[in-house]
Amino acid sequence: MSTLHYQTGFGNSWATEALPGALPVGRNSPQICPYGLYAEQLSGTAFTAPRADNRRSWLYRIRPAAAQQPFEPYEGIVDWLNTFGDGPVTPNPLRWDPQPVPEQATDFIHSIRTWAGHGSPDEHAGVSINLYAANRSMQDSYFYNADGEMLIVPQEGRLRLATELGLIDIEPCEIAVIPRGVRFRVLLIDSSARGYLLENFGAALRLPELGPIGSNCLANARDFQTPVSWYEDIEGDFTLYAKFTGGFWRARTDHSPLDVVAWHGTHAPYKYDLRRFNAIGSISYDHPDP
């Protein structure tokens, strides 16, 4: 696959276009957008959220996001759960073998299995901890998660995340975050892929304050990478899957939803190379808490 390009930084207000002049200048929603595109705002927070916490992006796409058939309940994803039960919870230590790669053809979203969690999408608080093991790319299908953002941690096999806002390639020792509501599909670069998925129901992930460490170290903002604009303009028989309030839905669409030609804003996917993490630790003796 071709080498991808990224924008660097964390929490920035980005601006990128796949065609010259596709981004409107000086306004978000002109009466007529360049190239006849449709202007839409994708919100990751309430629009009244404080500026420092507000997450939203303006997308300029070939067709409206609502141009699809109505959603219907979908029962085909059975192991991705958001109901964690009331116990009892064992005090015994537990460990599990790696999730086996399935024998039958299984794509990313159909391979996700929940192992632990707390909170719920309804409360907008908590997380679910999941594993995935896939041996097929998402073919003619797309997905978005309305319940929370998704932190993907590959353990084996490389992935290409084709999102509305651009392409991201990740491999073991890298992580990626897909924000709430962003449409995407997962392509396998290798024959199979396995790893972890954290679903965050609460506020968007952010970098912690450094305190007495100072201005640098740990995860530096410059090492985070956000994709540049990319789009596909294809027609066919496609399926859009959605996760909403813990349930799964699907809708038919006659075109790819990844048709955003340009965008700007703060609500966007990103990746990070864990090998660039600058650790701070005890260098003389003993071990500090925790």
Q: Which residues are known to be catalytic? A: 287
Least Cα distance to 7 among 266, 285, 213, 232 occurs for 266
Least Cα distance to 247 among 82, 61, 71 occurs for 82
The answer to whether 243 and 59 have CB atoms below 8 angstroms apart is no
- The distance in angstroms from the start CA to the end CA of the chain is 42
Give the separation between CA 42 and CA 181, rounded to whole angstroms.
8
Contacts of 127 (CB under 8 A, 6+ apart): 117, 118, 119, 148, 198, 199, 200, 201, 202
The answer to whether 126 and 120 have CB atoms below 8 angstroms apart is yes
Phi, psi of 203 (to 5 degrees): -65, 155
Handedness of CA 76, 81, 82, 88 (dihedral sign): positive
Give the separation between CA 52 and CA 151, rounded to whole angstroms.
22
